[in-house]
A = this chain, B = another copy of it.
Amino acid sequence: MSKSKLASGSRTKWVYYFGKTKAEGTREMKQLLGGKGANLAEMTSIGLPVPPGFTVTTEACDAYYKAGRKFPAGLIDEAHRNIEMLEKETGKQFGSDDDPLLVSVRSGAALSMPGMMDTVLNLGLTDRSVEGLARLSGNRRFALDAYRRLINMFGGVVMGVDHHYYEAEFDRIKKKHRAKLDTDLNEAGMTELVAAYKKVYRKHTGHAFPQDPFDQLSKSIAAVFGSWHTPRAVRYRQINEITGLLGTAVNCQVMAFGNLGEDSGTGVAFTRDPSTGRNEFYGEFLVNAQGEDVVAGIRTPQPVAEMKKWKPEIYKQLLGVKKTLERHYREMQDFEFTIENSVLFMLQTRNGERTGHAAVKIACDMVKEKLIKEKDAVTRVPPNDLNQLLLPSFDAKATRDVLTRGLPASPGAAVGKPAFTADEAADRTAAGEAVLLVRKETSPEDIDGMHAAQGILTSTGGMTSHAAVVARGWGKPCVAGAGAIQIDEKKQRITVKGRTFSTQDILSIDGATGEVIAGAVGTHQPKLSGDFGTLMKLADKYRKLNVRTNADTPADAQRARDFGAEGIGLCRTEHMFFGDERIMAMREMILAETEAARRKALRKLLPYQRKDFEGILASMKGLPVTIRLLDPPLHEFLPHDGQSQKEMAESLGVSVAKVKQRVSALHEQNPMLGHRGCRLSVTYPEILEMQVTAIVEATINCRKKRINAQPEIMIPLVGVDKELSSLRELTVATIAAVKKAKKFTGKLDIPVGTMIEIPRAALTADAVAPHADFFSFGTNDLTQMTFGYSRDDVGTFVPQYIQQEILERDPFQSLDTTGVGQLVEMGVTRGRSVRKGLKVGICGEHGGDPLSIAFCHVTGLNYVSCSPFRVPVARLAAAQAALNDGKASVNTTL
C-alpha cells in the first residue's frame, strides 16, 4: 500500500497531480504511478520544465479489471477535479473555443515497455475548440492537423478503427491537392481531411466523433487500461519475464506542440551514448513534428548535435538538463522533449536502455566520476547484458561486400537470409534457418519475429525507432534506417543499388557500424574492454559463490578460464566416445556378450580417454575438474538406420542380425528414466573401472610433467544411497590399483562425489552424503523428474502453459524455486546435516541463469557451473545476489 493512500485515509486516491502548485508523486512511486508518471512528478519537483498534468494510478487499472472493466468509484470525479486544477494553472479551459486546454493521454507502467502502450494526443479538441486553437496559434492549418491527428489516434486506440482507412483518405486528398508529403497539404486540404476523418470515424464506429472532451478523456483512460491486456503487451511481458505488476497508470498532461512551425520540434535524447556508453550528449530531433513522429521511425530525424545550429540556446539548455538529470538520478537517462515556439518542455525521463557494452562502460565511468559507488556499479548491469560483450563480431580483416550503411542501432554481428514478415521470421527460425528480419519499419506486432531473427534491418527509422530500442534491449544486432534499401514485401525481395536479394540470399549486418553486407562475413571473438575487466573484478570482490564451467574439451576449458572460471564443474565423458575409432571400440563393447569381451573393447578405449583427460586437466592448471562418468544409455552409441547398422556389422565382423537384435534389446520406452547413469556402472562395473583408470593415469602423467592435475570423480544419477556406496568402493579400489600398478607414491586425493538429479537422492541426501565428497545438483534432470517433463517433449504444451500463466517461466531456463528448489534446499541441508561443510554446486544449465544463481546463493551453494560464455554472467549475477541479499537484479534498467 502506498504512503499517499494511507495519507488520504480509508478512501483510495486514484489520481496524482503534478504542476507548479504541487507534485503529489515522487520517483519512488513507480509501482503506483508507473515509471513515466513518477518521473514526471519528480522532474516537476526538481524544477525542470514539465507541462503540468496528472497520473491515474496502476491501482485504478487493477480495480478496473477486478470490477470487470469498470472504473472504480470516484475515479472520474478525481480526474475532473484534476482537469480543473490544470485549467487553473494554465488559464485554459477544457473544450473552450477561446483558449482550449489540450492534453495528451499516455500509458505508463512501473517498467517501461517500448511501443507497447497506446497514446492519444491533442485530446480536448472538438469542432468547437479547434477554432480556439486556430485562433490562439494563429495557424489554422496546424489546428486542423492537430484535430485530424486526434480523430485518427482516438479512432484507432480507443475505438479500434484501422489506421489504413484514415491513410487511404489522406492519400486521396494529398493526391487531389498534389501534395507529396504530409506537410505539403495546405489548410484547405486539411479542412477536407478533418471532414473525411470524421466520416471514417462515424462509418467504423457507428457514432459521431465525441464532442465532449470529458467523454474523450474517460474513453481514453479506459483504452489505456485496456491496452494492458492486449496480446502484444502480454507477450512483451512474457519475453521480458515481467510479472507482479498491478497494471498500467495513465498520464494526462497538457499538450506541448512540437509541430507549431519551424521554431518548434521534438526529440529524444540520452544523457550518454546508449550504444557505446560514452559520456556524450546523444539524441535526435525533428523540427516541426509531434513526439510520436520520432519514436515511430516514420521520418528520419537529425542528430541532436545539429541543434547547435538550429537553436543554440535550447541546445545549451538541454546540456543543462542532461547534467541535472544525471546528478539527480545517478543513472543514464533517456528523455523526451518538445520545443514549442522556442520553449523547451520535458515530457518524460527514464533510465535509458543501453547495450551491454554501454551498460558496463557507464557503470565503470560513473564510479570514476563518483556519481555512484562500486556496489551500485555491480548491481546495475543486468548480467545477461554481458552476453553482448562476449559474443562474436565480424572479423575486421574480412573483405566486406558492403551494400549500404544504415544507422548502427544495436551492435553485434548477424548473418542470415531475409525474412519479410515477423511471422515468416518466426516460422523459418523455428524450422532451423538463420534469418534477418527485414522491414521498412517494425511495430509492436512484430515482437515475436524480431525476437526470433538473428538480427533486424529496417529501411526507415532512427536510433530511437521501435526496432532500435527493442533490439538494444535484447542485445540483438540491428541496423536501422538503411534508406538505400527498397523492400518489396510482396515479391519477397530487396533491391539495393540495382542488386536484388531474395529469401535465399545471405546477408550480413553489422550493428556496430550500420553496414549491410552481401554474403556471410566471418566472425571473430570480441576483445574485452578494460571496463569489462574492472566490472568483473568488482563482481569477484563481492560475490560469495565460486563460478566453474561446463566443458568437455581443452579449447572450451581454456575459453572458460579466460572468462574467469575457477574450475570445471561438469566435464562430460560421453562426447569422447564418438571419434571414428573410438565409436567402433565403444560399439564392440556394447555388443560384447561376456565381461571378458567387454573388457577387451574397453582396453581399446582407455588410451583415448586418458589422452582426453590429460588435455583437460592440463588446460585447467591446478583448478579442479569434475569428471562425470558415463551417463547416457548405451543405445545412443549404436546406429539406428539400416545402412549404418550394416557398416557396423561389417566393421566388427558380426552379423547384421546381431547388431539389430542389440539395438532392439537396448531400445527403451522412456530412455530418460532407463538404464543409464550410475545404473550402467552397477551392471557393467568394468566401464567405471576403465574410466577411473583413465582419469588416474592421466593425473599421474600430468603430475609427472609437474602439472598440478586436480580431477574430481562424479557419479551420475544416484537415487539410492547404496548405488553410491558400492560404486565409490569400486572407484577407490580402482584408484589404489592404478597407483600401485604405476608405482606412483605421491598423494592423489581424488574426491569422489555424486550428482543430485533424481528426486529421491535429494530426499535421502542424509543417506547419500556419507559416501560423497561433494554434491553437484544436476538441475536439468531434477527439473525433468520433479515436474514429470521430458525436455524433448514439452514443446507441445509448455509454451501454452507460459502464455496462460500456469507457469511463470520455463523451468528449464530458470530454476523453479517453488518446487525443484525445495529439493535443492533439502539436498543441501540434509547432506550437510551428516557431513558438515559438504561442498555443493550446481551444474545444470541453470548455473548460468541470474535468477537461479540468486537462488543458489541464498541456498548456500559453494559454486555454480555453466557454459564458458555464461561464466562472466554468472560472476556478475553471483555478486548481485550477494549484494542484493539473494534477490536477482534483472530488469532493473528496463
Contact = CB atoms under 8 A, between A and B. Distances in A.
A672 interface: yes
Nearest to A783: B760
A672 B669 contact: yes
Interface string A707-738: 00000000001011011001000000000000
B682 A793 contact: no
Interface string A785-822: 11111101110110011001111000000001011101
Interface stretch (A292-300, A478-486, A673-681): A673-681
A814 to B, nearest CB: 14
Interface residues of A, number: 49
Contacts of A679: 797
Contact of A787 (B683, B719, B784): B719
A572 B722 CA distance: 36
A829 interface: no
Contact of A793 (B670, B757, B760, B822): B670
Contact of A683 (B670, B671, B764, B797): B797
A682 B786 CA distance: 19
Nearest to A819: B760
A154 to B, nearest CB: 35
Contacts of A797: 675, 679, 682-683
Contacts of A726: 804, 806
A359 interface: no
Contacts of A719: 787-789, 819
A447 to B, nearest CB: 23
A616 to B, nearest CB: 28
Contacts of A819: 719, 759-760, 763-764
A87 B683 CA distance: 53
Q: What is the oligomeric copy number?
A: 2
A781 interface: yes
A581 interface: no
Contacts of A767: 818
Most buried by B among A683, A806, A807, A818: A806
A426 to B, nearest CB: 18
A668 interface: yes
A801 B721 CA distance: 12
Nearest to A675: B796
A602 interface: no
Contact of A788 (B758, B764, B807): B758
A783 to B, nearest CB: 9
A720 B759 contact: no
B796 A788 contact: no
A193 interface: no
A33 interface: no
A823 interface: yes
A790 B758 contact: no
A640 to B, nearest CB: 13
Most buried by B among A683, A763, A764, A787: A763
Given A726-B806, A797-B679, A804-B682, A763 B786 contact: yes
B674 A793 contact: yes
A790 B633 CA distance: 13
Q: Which 5 A-B pairs have the closest CB atoms?
A: A673-B790, A670-B790, A760-B819, A674-B793, A669-B792
21 contacts: A670-B671, A670-B792, A672-B788, A672-B790, A673-B673, A673-B793, A674-B793, A674-B796, A675-B796, A682-B806, A683-B797, A723-B801, A723-B806, A726-B806, A757-B788, A758-B787, A759-B759, A759-B786, A759-B788, A760-B788, A764-B818
